Every structure is written in C-alpha cells, then in structure tokens.
Amino acid sequence: MFKAEPFVTRLAFLASDRPEAQEARIALIARYGEVPPNEAQVVVALGGDGFMLETLHDQMGGGHKPIYGMNRGSVGFLMNEYSEDGLLERISVAEKAVIHPLTMTAVDTYGKPHKALAINEVSLLRQTRQTAKLRISIDGKVRLNELSCDGAMVATPAGSTAYNLSAHGPIIPLDAKVLALTPISAFRPRRWRGALLAHTAKVSFDILEADKRPVSAVADNLEVRDVLEVHIAEDREISMYMLFDAGRSLEERMLAEQFSV
C-alpha cells in the first residue's frame, strides 16, 4: 500500500479538456479542497489513459508526486473507477505501481539528435507507402540485419498492454525487468515475432535506404521525422508512481488482461 504520510489530505486535481473531466474536477474541489501540485501529497488525474500519460510526463519534469487517476475518458486501463465518495480513504490504502521510462535518442537525416522519454513505448513507423527497412542491434551487436516492416517498437512493462499488445506483442508483468521488442506488420522475415530483452539492454535501430524509405520515431506523443538511427534504453534513475484502488493494482489488471476473451 501507499504510505507516504499517515493520512492523505492535500490533493491537486488535474483534468483533461473533456467536459465530464472538467465537471468532475469542479465537483471534487468543492468537496475536498485543492492545493497546487507542488504542495500536494497526491495528484488526482481526471480523464483517460492518454491524459494519465500526459500527467506522468509532467511529473517527470519535477516533483514526482504519486498520481491517482480516475476515469473520465474513453479508455481507462490506467485509471480507477470514478466516484466522489471516500476519495481520501481510497487513496490512503491504495497500492503503488513504480514506472521507469525509456530514453530515446533519435538522429535525423541532418545529423541532429533528438532526445525524449517514453512511458509506454518508443515506436518506429514508415512514413510512406513503402515498407521500412531496419537493422536491429542489441548492446552493440547486430541481431537482425534487415527487417522489412511497417515499423517496430520497444515497450515497457507498463506499456505492454497498449500499442504493443495491438501489434501482437507480449504482456509483461510489471516487476519482470523485461522489455518487449515487437515488429509492426513484419514482411521479411515473416516468422520473426520479436524478442523479450533484459531491462538493461540497449536497443539500436539503423534505418536502411532512409532516403527512399523514410521512417519516423515516436516516444509516446513526441514524433521525430526522417530519422537515420534510434537508440533506446530504460532509465532507472527516473521513477514515477501510480496509485490504484486496493485489490485493483496494475499488476492485477495486467494479469487479468491475459485471460480476457
């Protein structure tokens, strides 16, 4: 359970621009009061999974406050159920998930490096009608000389149930210390389905025929166009904290997702 202080009383409420999220913020502030995020014990995020990712990224910039999400959006895998009742009690006994982001360094065709952090995944995507051609190296050693595909991604355990799962990648337990390397619509080699890597692995992509087959690199919501090479590694120096209702931890949700039909 989350045990930052004996009892949580100081909350900051952040909301997406959806009307239901804004209405919920007004109602919750009227009931529980509000302090600025830098003075809060917990930040309450109201919206969907996309807004949770935005809030986590904002917290990486400073503060590292625990975030308790409530679903006021279209997708709520990372959110708790919305209710105005008993919020302080729910947060005080909540279960904590620790998240570590990926660092991406993408070098574009002008030789300019672009750095970004990703909570879910770093994905490489073809920019035109032609397939991308990628060379993949792990810890400096080439493991796949040429992958023809729509793209590829490296996903964190927390992100393994998002785009990675849609691309038929594996769901990874949160504490597994593993990253997923997943192709997107692989054409050759057809039978390659990706790999599970140690969380310490350093993954590099070289874009082949970049002038003819341009590729973009995306770290969550930041896109870099026309890249030549992309380097990805987990950053264990950065930790973010998400809070989930007792009995509904992120680990439990990810396990349940593997048995959903």
86: number of Cβ within 10 Å: 9
Ordered DSSP codes for 158-189: TTTTTHHHHTTPPP--TTS-EEEEEEES--BS
Helices (H) and strands (E) in the chain, counts: 5, 17
Report the largest interatomic distance among the alpha carbons of the chain, rounded to a whole angstrom. 60
Binding-site residue set for NAD(+): 49-50, 120-121, 150, 158, 161-166
Spell out the alpha helix ranges (H) of the chain.
Answer: 19-32, 49-60, 87-92, 163-166, 250-257
* DSSP-based three-state secondary structure for 32: helix
Q: Where in the sequence numbering do the catalytic residues fall?
A: 49
Q: How many CA atoms lie within 13 A of 153 on its CB side?
A: 27
Q: Please tell me the distance from the alpha carbon of residue 212 to that of residue 225, in angstroms, as a whole number.
A: 14
Q: Please tell me the distance from the alpha carbon of residue 20 to that of residue 24, in angstroms, as a whole number.
A: 6
Question: What beta strand segments (E) does 75-140 contain?
Answer: 95-99, 102-108, 113-118, 121-126, 132-138
φ, ψ at 255 (rounded to 5°): -65, -45
Binding-site residue set: 49-50, 120-121, 150, 158, 161-166
Do residues 101 and 240 make contact, with C-beta atoms less than 8 angstroms apart? yes
Q: Please tell me the distance from the alpha carbon of residue 261 to that of residue 259, in angstroms, as a whole number.
A: 6
